Structure 1
Amino acid sequence: MVLGSEGTLGVISECWLRLQKRPVFRATAGVTFANWASGCDAVRQIAQAKLWPANLRILDPVEAAASAGLGGDSALLIIGFESADVPQGENVRAAVAIARDCGGSIDDDAIVVDDGDGKPTGRAGAVGAWRNAFIGVNAGLTAGIGLLSDTFETAITWDRWPAFDADVRQRVGAALDDAVAGGRLSCRFTHVYPDGPAPYYSFSGVVPVGAEEERWRAVKDAATAAVVAAGGTVTHHHAVGRLHRPGWEKQRPALFGDLWRATKRSVDPNGIMNPGVLVDP
């Protein structure tokens, strides 16, 4: 219970850290797909093959065009392996073989393997372009100048994924059309598990100066409602906090809420630890 308490039940006063050796063996591949569904199926199969890549991230055609330099009609699957002890060429080639069986395309010489000699991986082509775009994020840079840009993330099981994605895109797309001019909605996977993906949606558009917060709230609320209605988690790695609390309260059992409030009253009777997060003070 403490692990998911988001600072409402206590503070960390001491911790143990596990140190890992820096990887020296790396391998990277960027596989393109003519359609989003085939790429997502490749991700599922690679995840369920238990190859355990360090990076398994797919960008839909909109995201791949905006951040990786593709033409807007192809999804991009980025596959990366790394280890401090074991060469990774065999693993990346196994993953690429699965992706190719699902309709993915990549030239053999585009599979980059570092067998410990320091050869750069993941720095060139579409994979490198995505890396540079991702690292170069400047959150809040456009605030207050009539540009709206934000994200929302969730998790869902594989059996529900295609219908979930279609539903979320329809609902959030409609809200985006009402709120902004030139709206753009895209998706990528930030985390992948054998049981399902963690989709990360991005939305943006032009709004009247001064109306940024109002329009953002409309889209964000629509996104939360769409995710919850379609059966996804209200959040994934961004936590619940105050922003996602209304959706979280619809998903957690009522008895769990009662237990949480009782625990909160016991360990924090004055309500000074993260008031308003998860439960009322």
Structure 2
Amino acid sequence: MTKRNFWGWGNEDSAFNDRQISQLRQMVGMQFGNLELTCQEPPVLADLAMPEPRLQVPQSLAPMMSTDRRDRASHTYGKSFRDIVRGLDGDYRCAPDLIARPSTEQELLDVLDYASRSGAAVIPYGGGSSVVGGTEPRYEGDWAGTVTVDMEHFNRIIEVDQRSRAAHIEGGIYGPALEDGLRPHGYTLRHFPQSFEFSTLGGWIATRSGGHFATLYTHIDDLVESTRLVTPRGALETRRLPGSGAGPSPDRLVLGSEGTLGFVTSAWMRLQARPEFRATRTIHFGDFLAGADAVCRLSQSGLFPTNCRLIDAREAMINGIGSGGKHLLIIGFESADHPLDAWMQRALEIVAEAGGVVQANREQTPDKDQAGDWRQQFIRAPYMRDALIRLGLVAETFETAITWDRFEEFHRGVMETVNRVTREICGKALVTCRFTHVYPDGPAPYYTVIAPGRRGDQVKQWDDIKLAVMETLIDLGGTVTHHHAVGRDHRPGYDRQRPELFAEVLRGTKQTLDPGGMLNPGVLI
């Protein structure tokens, strides 16, 4: 039976095996001048540093409460670099005291009432794939304990409206189950974040998730028709409409609320017909900025490719889809309605005009496999990140967004800062970049940092790099996060990015919906 990894990403049987780790050790070691790397063994559940629960399970809630050791460990951290390092080290001193799994809204309210009476903090939990400290019991305040509320039993597709092409879906449903439920109806939500297999609809909404597709309906915001949020003050349900100009949208209050205002128990979601036509091509560039110019032209062409991923040469090489000499642009189109030859032909003309070398017909070259290989590596990337951490490396990513007119200066400034700071802290650095999403007015660059770490000091090393990165992103006009949420880790940058008057509005909203401040303390506010 497949078992979720309590300290790392995904499933235990999908983690890198000894052979893969050996290959990774050799490849990365060469990048750092034949650096010798040793592999840390995973932690043993019985040896974890975990205190006894501080809270007593009330008899009335006992059927839905757990104090199981593995259960508490699995709900302690998200899946960021600093989470994996501490998990590997067996440090679970901040484990939640109780894990609650309500099945109804009344049971959820009963849990909130118990937590309020007990003086406990409450952490809403979807799939636990947060990479920004969104699910960790790490906060200030004199709390008597922590109750993590796992929403896995809110997992139904309640209704499918064929005429309006929408569905009413509970918030605790995982990505694969959601798609399996829509498939017999001929529909898809068409939202595939990298965490798709291990994240939930409610989590996507609460964190304003970005899907795999590069343009058009890629953010969960665009797919939400209405929401139902259960708060300590009761339920807040919005009206189901295709659009409305009636004041500020209440759904926007729910989107990005990150568990600080309530639980997304269900939502009406806009669906898409399942695609029948697909086309993919790969283009090579000798210069990354020339590739960025091509992407800019594509983003403003009105073609709206589903995939428009610019990958720098070193990142392509690390992921096994290039030799390290050329930057890659992968373009893809899909449709449920029409063939895509005309769209692809025009896209290839645009990138060729920008200096891209279009690969020959994909049926006659490895071009198709290069795009397919990237997709597989994209899904496997978190497992590789875990393996790099086991080898003692600092290995993490950060993402942002900036307008096209400022991108070149912005990119140069970010690369300079990250390379300089990482070398100062770690001695050496490998920094790469790719575009994850593109808009007519700007790209969303996604940067990867790999560097030698010091055992026992890796978290501090990354925290120091991360702080410098956030300062640079804000100073150069970018956003502190494009689609990975704020959590606790991005709070310093978010506090600088948002207008202070808006911060006061957010605090007022929090006070209204969660007067005791018990929901996800330290996140957003």
TM-score > 0.5, shorter chain as reference: yes
Q: Work out which of the residue numbers 485, 497, 512 in structure 2 matches 1:251.
A: 497
* 3-state SS, counterpart of residue 266 of structure 2: coil
- Alpha-carbon separation, structure 2, partners of 1:111 and 1:160: 38
**In the TM superposition, what is the alpha-carbon distance from 1:68 to its structure 2 partner?**
4.5
1:196 is aligned with what amino acid?
G
Deviation of the 1:139 alpha carbon: 4.4
Could you say which structure has the greater relative contact order, defined with CA pairs below 8 angstroms and 6 or more residues apart?
1
CA distance in 2: counterparts of 1:227 and 1:219, whole angstroms: 12
1:74: Cα distance to partner? 1.6
Distance 1:222 1:111 in 2: 46
The equivalent residue for 1:216 is: 462
Counterpart contact for 2:362–2:368, Cα < 8 Å: no
For 1:204 and 1:271, how far apart are their aligned partners in 2?
A: 38
1:166 to 387, 412, 416: 412
Shift of 1:143: 3.1
Partner of 1:52: 304
Aligned twin of 2:479: 233
* Counterpart pick for 1:75 among 327, 347, 353: 327
Which consecutive residues of structure 2, in runs of 5 or more, have no partner in the other structure? 1-252
- Structure with max Cα Rg: 2
Asked if 1:134 is matched to 2:378, the reply is yes
**Change in CA separation of 1:123 and 1:72 when aligned onto 2, cut-off 3 Å:** closer
Contact 2:281–2:359 (Cα < 8 Å) also in 1:
no
Q: Deviations over 1:71-103 (max 9, x none)?
A: 323210000000111111111111111000000
Corresponding position of 2:277: 25
SS of alignment partner, residue 357 of structure 2: coil
CA contact (8 A) 1:41 1:102 kept: yes
Cross-structure match for 2:448: 202
Are residue 92 (structure 1) and residue 338 (structure 2) matched? no
Give deviations 1:258-281, integer Å, cap 9, x for gaps.
1111111111011121111111xx
Aligned to 2:510: 264
Contact 2:315–2:433 (8 Å) recurs in 1: yes
For the structure 1 residues 16 and 234, does the alpha-carbon distance in structure 2 shift closer, same or farther, using more than 3 Å as the test? Answer: same
Alpha-carbon distance in structure 2 between the residues aligned to 1:132 and 1:36? 23
The answer as to whether partners of 2:359 and 2:367 remain within 8 angstroms in 1 is: no
User: Structure 2 counterpart of 1:178, which letter?
Assistant: E
Q: 1:174 to 1:265 in 2, by over 3 A?
A: same
Query: How far apart, CA to CA, are the structure 2 residues paired with 1:111 and 1:251?
Result: 47
Q: Secondary structure at the match of 2:434?
A: strand
| TM-fit CA distance, 1:40 | 0.2
Structure-2 change in CA distance of 1:68 and 1:98 (3 Å): farther
1:154 paired with 2:400, answer yes
The change in CA–CA distance for 1:218 and 1:111 in structure 2 (over 3 A counts) is farther
Rounded Cα–Cα distance in structure 2 between residues aligned with 1:41 and 1:213: 36
Amino acid at match of 1:52: F
**Cα distance in 1 for residues equivalent to 2:298 and 2:342:** 14
Q: TM-score normalised to the size of structure 2?
A: 0.50
Shift of 1:24: 1.2
Q: CA RMSD in A?
A: 1.9
Q: Using the alignment, how far apart are the partners of 1:191 and 1:85 within structure 2? A: 23
Moved more, 62-71 or 247-256: 62-71
Task: Judge which range, 139-148 or 76-85, deviates more.
Answer: 139-148
Rate the CA distance shift 1:130–1:14 in 2: closer, same or farther, 3 A: closer
**Residue 64 (str. 1) matches residue 308 (str. 2):** no
What amino acid maps onto 1:127 in structure 2? A
CA distance in 2, matches of 1:260, 1:131: 38
- Write the distance in 2 (CA, Å) between the matches of 1:126 and 1:192: 21
- Post-superposition offset of 1:226: 1.2
Is the Cα contact below 8 Å between 1:181 and 1:207 reproduced in 2?
no
CA deviations 1:237-264 (Å, max 9, x no partner) are 0011111111111111111111111111
Q: Residue 141 of structure 1 aligns to a residue in which SS?
A: helix
Is 2:291 the counterpart of 1:39? yes
Change over 3 Å in CA distance of 1:111–1:258 after alignment to 2 = farther
Unmatched tracts of structure 1, length 5 or more: 113-121
AA matched with 2:500: A
- SS of the residue corresponding to residue 41 of structure 1 reads helix
Say whether the 8 Å CA contact 1:30–1:111 is kept in structure 2.
no
Trace 1:186-201 onto structure 2 (pairs within 5 A). 186-201=432-447
Deviations 1:114-170 (A, max 9, x none): xxxxxxxx9844323322221212443333541110000000000000000000001
Q: Among the aligned pairs, what percent are the same residue? A: 44
Deviation for aligned residue 1:210:
1.7
The alignment partner of 2:272 has SS state of coil
Distance 1:71 1:83 in 2: 32
**Does the CA-based 8 Å contact 1:188-1:201 persist in structure 2?**
yes
1:106 aligns with 2:335: no
